[in-house]
């Protein structure tokens, strides 16, 4: 397990979705990230199988990279974990950096676990985003250890998410004990949220100590 690096933000949105400010352009996010001295910036825009803006989005990121920057810029997506255990991303973009996240509630622990474990087993999923239990259930220590083993065998990373302050501390303790890969994601939907991990200082300190 690597220490959490505050100069790397692996979960940032732009104006290629319908709920971020229109001025949150790829270029503006990049220039802001430079001013706060990030060295890695991953654009992970919300995607569905029906998304028709993806070529323009990827071209926009390629254009910014071509203009020159000292940062590593990653072009990626955040996709919803579906009930059948698949992820809502067009097949032709499965090779890009991909965060798989729950965006709807299941209200059923076994359905939730099935979908999560299936998503973890998909070779094109890189990261599980803002992971936490639903209000109606939690995972036991034994279930978390089993989940850790699945994450490890599939070489998946768990995101420590600043927007939702996830995963819970108990989950992080078990992930840390089992040497699960962890990294930081601001889940920024506005400029000042990019690279801002102030909301999860206690989680970062626990992992890094």
pLDDT per residue over 13-56, tens digit each?
A: 999 977 777 889 999 999 999 999 999 999 999 999 999 999 99
Domain boundaries, the chain: 8-208
- The CATH code of domain 8-208 reads 3.20.20.140
Q: In 3D, which of 83, 111, 86 has the Cα closest to residue 98?
A: 86
| Neighbour tally for 33: CB within 10 Å | 23
Task: Kindly list the distances between the CA atom of residue 7 and the CA atoms of 65, 131, 183, in Å, as whole numbers in the listed order.
Answer: 18, 22, 11
Instruction: Determine the Cα–Cα distance for residues 46 and 25; give it in Å rounded to an integer.
Output: 15
pLDDT of residue 21: 78
| Neighbour tally for 198: CB within 10 Å | 8
pLDDT per residue over 74-123, tens digit each?
A: 999 999 999 999 999 999 999 999 999 999 999 999 999 999 999 999 99
Size (the chain), residues? 209
Task: Assess whether pLDDT exceeds 70 at residue 1.
Answer: no
């Amino acid at each position: 397990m690597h220490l959490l690096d505050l100069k790397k933000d692996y979960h940032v949105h732009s104006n290629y979705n319908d709920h971020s400010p229109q001025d949150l352009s790829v270029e503006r996010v990049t220039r802001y990230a430079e001013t706060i001295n990030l060295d890695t910036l991953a654009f992970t825009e919300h995607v569905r199988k029906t998304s028709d803006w993806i070529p323009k989005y990827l071209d926009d990121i390629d254009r910014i990279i071509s203009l020159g920057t000292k940062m590593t810029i990653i072009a990626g997506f955040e996709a919803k974990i579906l009930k059948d255990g698949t992820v809502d991303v067009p097949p032709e973009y499965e090779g890009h950096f991909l965060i798989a996240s729950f965006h709807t509630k299941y209200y059923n622990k076994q359905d939730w676990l099935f979908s999560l474990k299936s998503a973890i087993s998909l070779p094109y999923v890189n990261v599980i985003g803002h992971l936490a239990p639903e209000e109606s259930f939690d995972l036991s220590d034994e279930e978390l250890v089993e989940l850790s083993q699945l994450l490890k065998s599939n070489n998946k990373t768990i995101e420590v998410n600043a927007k939702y302050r996830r995963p819970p501390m108990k989950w992080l303790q078990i992930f840390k004990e089992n040497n699960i890969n962890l990294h930081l994601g601001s889940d920024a939907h506005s400029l000042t949220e990019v690279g801002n991990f102030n909301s999860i200082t206690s989680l970062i300190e626990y992992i890094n100590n």
